[in-house]
Amino acid sequence: MILAFILGILTILSVITVPEIGLLAFLLGVVNAIDYPARQSFVPEFVGKEKLASAIAINSGVYNSARVVGPAIAGILIVLTGTGGAFILNGLSYIAVIIALFAMKVELYVPKVRLHPLLAIKEGLSYTFSHSIIRTLLMFIGVSSIFAWSYTTVLPVITQYTFHLGASGLGYLYVAVGSGAVLATIVVSVFSKKISPVIFIFGGNALFAVSIFLFTLTHNFPSALVFLFFAGFGLLSQFATMNTTVQTMAAKELRGRVTSVYALMFIGLAPIGSFEVGFLSDRFGTALAIQIGALIVFVFGTLLFIKRKKLLGDLKLQPVT
């Protein structure tokens, strides 16, 4: 909240600079490194074992959906209030979250034995990478974080130079992605116990790759919205299910640390994807840059699907207690 206010004030005063943006981004990364694992692993404390998979799927879906719905709302707010005003409103939105946190009354799980922080980190890493299914899914998450999510970085460029639209057009594109993401959240949470995670993970991966590839080929705005809708649906189906699977399979006392590694692969590697797609876009154009990313995630997902029996075994959303 404080970082959002600072960024908003500096923007309104027209004194914001690139180094200041870099510093605020660094501080935001520090906050996310603490906030994301704690928030994600906190959700299972509210529900019983029988609802754990659905609860984690909803929480994961809401978080991932916010990554695409948020920019859509931001595009509308920028048009109405300006960039600085959008940052200020973003900061104000945290007040509701803080009030909700203080209103929560839940019996927390506190481990009886508390290890030294370094030993706890070592134990978490050892457990995470010795668990074959969790290790494989984290690799998939890392690849997708770099080569799949990166397309959002160049959407403003595509909006301006391909569709010749401004902030409102960018908002529509993000709304299309966000709508697909929201629908994916609902579908995964409702059918997480009825449909195999394999369908959501690999089907979602294929749907995203094909849809985002077709998006780069069209110059028709309505068609672009349709392709982005399915891209958002596929990507969120994949990520929500992988997050749910990782958390349900992790031992209760290690869930927070496993989620931290998940956050590292999901959030920590995303800037690499932004650099990658920016570098390729500068040299070969945005369309080819996105197509390369789509091809990489599709090929990786296909190879993993072929080897799924060896790498993932009997993949089911059964919580570990």
Q: How far is CA 44 from the centre of its chain?
A: 19
Among 130-144, 183-197, 229-243, name the one with the lowest average pLDDT. 183-197
Among 71-75, 217-221, 266-270, name the one with the lowest average pLDDT. 71-75
Hey, what domains does the chain have and what are their CATH numbers? 2-105+117-311 (1.20.1250.20)
> pLDDT confidence of 318, banded at 50, 70, 90?
very low
Question: Is the pLDDT score of 319 beyond 60?
Answer: no
Q: What is the mean pLDDT of the chain?
A: 84
pLDDT of residue 140: 93
What distance in Å separates the CA atoms of residue 202 and residue 218, rounded to the nearest whole number? 25
123-159 pLDDT, tens digit per residue, is 888 988 888 888 889 999 999 999 998 998 899 899 9
CA dist 103 to 97, 100, 188, 310, 321, Å?
10, 5, 28, 46, 27
Please name which of 138, 119, 120 lies closest in space to residue 130, comparing C-alpha atoms: 138
7-66 pLDDT, tens digit per residue, is 889 989 888 888 888 898 888 888 877 787 777 777 766 776 567 667 766 776 676 667
Question: Is the pLDDT score of 234 beyond 60?
Answer: yes
Helix ranges (H only) for 131-266 are 132-147, 155-161, 167-191, 197-198, 204-215, 221-249, 255-263
Question: Is the pLDDT score of 285 beyond 80?
Answer: yes
For the entire predicted model, the pTM comes to 0.80
What distance in Å separates the CA atoms of residue 64 and residue 206, rounded to the nearest whole number? 18
Q: What b-and-e string marks burial along 202-220, b requiring 16 or more CB atoms within 10 Å of the CB?
A: bbbbbbbbbbbbbbbeeee
